[in-house]
Each structure stands twice: as C-alpha cells, then as structure tokens.
Amino acid sequence: MLIPYGTDAPVYHIPVGTIGLIATNTAIFCLTLDTNTTPYCLALGNGLHPAQWLSHMFLHANLAHLLGNMIFLWCFGLIVEGKLGWWKFLPLYLAIGMTVGLVIQVAMLGGLSSHALGASAAISGIMVIACLWAPENEVQLVWIIFYRPYYFEARTLVVGAWFVGWDIVYLCFIKSIASGPGAHLLGGLLGVAAAFVFLKRRWVDCEGWDIISVYATGRKEGSSRAKIDASQDKAERDVKRRLIAERVEAGRPQVTVFLQQQNVDAAVRLFSKLQEIEPTVAWKRRELHVVVTQLLQAGRGNEAIPFMRELVERFPDCDPSVRLRLAWAMLRMQQRPAEALRILSRVHVGSLDARQQDSYRRLVAHAQRLQAEGVVELSKG
C-alpha cells in the first residue's frame, strides 16, 4: 500500500478549504453511519438527478474508503490550494466532482441500475493539477509492505503518473466509466484541462515551476541552486507580507482616533489607503456603526448607503434599525422600491419596538406605492 502524506511544495495560503472538506466529509460519514444514504448517492441507469452530482462527493462506503480519500486530499489539496487560496480551490474541486457525476450519470442512462459515491474523482482531478503545477516538488510517501512502513520521497509528477497508470490498468479489465478507475481518470482529464486553463489565463502563479515552464525551458528544480532561489523568493515574499501587516496594524488605531474625534472623512480616507496596501482589511462592526451614524447626522445619507449595505451584509444580526435606515435611503434618495422591499424582507418584525414597527409598515407601504406608480430601477448601484 503506497500512501502520500506530505509535500515540500511552497504553501502561500492556509489550507482552510482542504481542512474544511476533510472535516465535512468526516462529519457526514459519522452522522450517516446508521442512515440509508442511497438517495444521495449517484444513481446510475435511473435518469438525471443534479442534486446527486454534489451529494455523492461527500459520501463514503466505509472507514477505509474515507481515510484513503482524505489522505490524498490532504497531500495534493495542500499543493493546489497553497497556490490558489480557498476561494478558488473550493469551486475548482466541486466543479470537477460535479462534472464527473453529470458525465457518468448521462453515460449510464438506460444501463443497469446501481449507484456510486465518494470524493475520489474530484481528488484525482486535484492530484493531476498538483502534478502539472508542481511536477518537480517532492511528495513524502510511506509504502507499507507486510505491515512494515518504508518512508521515501518522489517527485509529484512521478507519484501522479504511478496512480494514474494503475487506474488505466484496472480500467482495461473493468471497461466501465462508472467504475472507480473510470471516474478517477475522468476527474484526471478534467484536472488536466483546468490546470492548463488556469495557467493560460494566469489565474495561478507557479513561479515558473509548472510543467510547461519546467520542461519547455529545460529548467529543473533538482539542482541545489534552484532550491536556494525558491527559498529566497519565499523569504522575500514573507518579509513583504510582514511589512504590509505592520503598516496596517499601525494605521488601524488612527482610524479609531479619527472616529472618536468625529472626523469621519479622515477615517474613511485613511481606511481606503489601508485597503490599497492590504485589500483584505475590513471594517469592524463597531466602526461601521460609527461611520453610518456620523454620516447620517451630517445629512450625508447617500454617502452612508455603502457603509450600511456592508454592515447588513457582513453582520446579518446587526441592529434592525440599520436595515430600516437603509431601506429609507433606497426609497427617498435612490427611488429603488424593489431593493427597499428586499432589505425589509430580512427584518424580523417581532424584534422591533412599537416605533420601529410603525416605520417598517410605512416604508413597506411607500415602496409598494412607488411600484404601483411604475417606478423602474435602472441599476443595482
């Protein structure tokens, strides 16, 4: 038994997506031990069921099936998510698995009734992508022979080729796309397509160590010089990130000072500069409340709208009065009754006091009156 468990590939994003998928798969397996999961498996020979294209990816036949998939997901997900970040990795992973489910279900229409389950097709796609994006990086493996472990390392491309090769051998005997090897190879083909699309469109930065760059230019990371250069590049990026974090950390307290001084313009300008330095910086709940309040008190309702919108979208449990004020601004300042009604639909009327309930009713009535008069909303600004 050959098991990959680690890699020396650089990881520039915390693998929250990979960890989240492992936790979700494990939790679902534990929660469904005594449950009939057949309705959620991929039904074969029995029509198309789009919901199953997703649900079958989170089901496993037994503990060994789950552990095997999760080990592979950890090793190769670490490489791919480490280059993409979870916001690109998760849609890619789900798209591969769901596409495999669709293709297999279509291919088996009219065939014998059966079902399939498991995340291995999506994981195979991720494995192939890792091979194409980091072919020269090493994967740590353990080969268990007669219950005795042997540890060694091999290049990612070699490891991927080994497992793909075995799937091809098995498929030659089984000759069914709906089999495990068939699904693995289909996921792998989708992984090849996705890997090259991401490289072509520059949606991923492999720092010149993807398979095209390595083999087209004859560049090999096997040399000590190349490994030293890669380490230095990573060190430089780490220093840059640390400097950015220090600048942001130094600027945040000044934003609070400006708000305490009721200098909302200075606070907003400074925060905009911080976001230019680090786009992930976000307003805190208390800060947004203060900005909205100060702008409204200054009679600058239009300028307060984006801050109110951010407050209700990022903090759905915020004070309902914020939603009421945002709906009022949509009606009075932007003539957008449909948007106002959408905002009001998320207000729990029972949580409002008598005055707020009266305001709620008047806002709803005003929005409905504008719609009856034919007010048309031209944008979503």
Across all residues in the chain, what is the average pLDDT?
87
> Which residues neighbour 22 within 8 Å (Cβ) at sequence distance 6 or greater?
70, 73, 74
- Range 72-101 average pLDDT: 95
Question: Is pLDDT of 271 > 50?
Answer: yes
Average confidence (pLDDT) over 269-290 = 87
pLDDT tens digits along 4-16: 888 888 888 889 9
Q: 134 and 42 share a domain?
A: yes
Q: How many domains does the chain have?
A: 2
Q: Is residue 381 part of a domain?
A: no
User: Domain holding 334: CATH number?
Assistant: 1.25.40.10
pLDDT digits (tens, 9 = 90+) for 212-253: 888 766 655 444 445 555 555 666 777 777 777 788 888 888
- State whether 190 and 291 are in the same domain: no
211, 232: one domain: no
Write down which residue in 222, 238, 261 finishes a domain. Answer: 222
Is 173 within the bounds of a domain?
yes
- In the block, tokens 């504008």 appear at 370
Among 222, 246, 270, where does a domain finish? 222
Tell me whether residue 379 is in a domain: no
Instruction: Take residue 36 and report the two structure tokens written for it.
Output: 């009939």
Domain that holds residue 21: 2-222
DSSP assigned state of 138: E
| 54-68, 233-247, 269-283: the lowest-pLDDT one | 233-247
Enter the tokens of residue 377.
């909303």
**In this structure, are 173 and 106 located in the same domain?**
yes
Same domain, 184 and 263: no
How far, in Å, CA of 366 to CA of 211, rounded?
61
What is the pTM (predicted TM-score) of this model?
A: 0.58
CATH assignment of the domain containing 126: 1.20.1540.10
**270 and 315 fall within a common domain:** yes
- 268 has a pLDDT exceeding 70: yes
**212 and 303 housed in the same domain:** no
The answer to whether residue 84 sits within a structural domain is yes
- For residues 218 and 234, membership in a common domain is answered with no
Based on the domain organization, do 247 and 100 belong to the same domain? Answer: no
27-59 pLDDT, tens digit per residue, is 999 999 989 999 999 999 889 999 999 999 999
Same structural domain for residues 30 and 116?
yes
d(CA 266, CA 274): 12
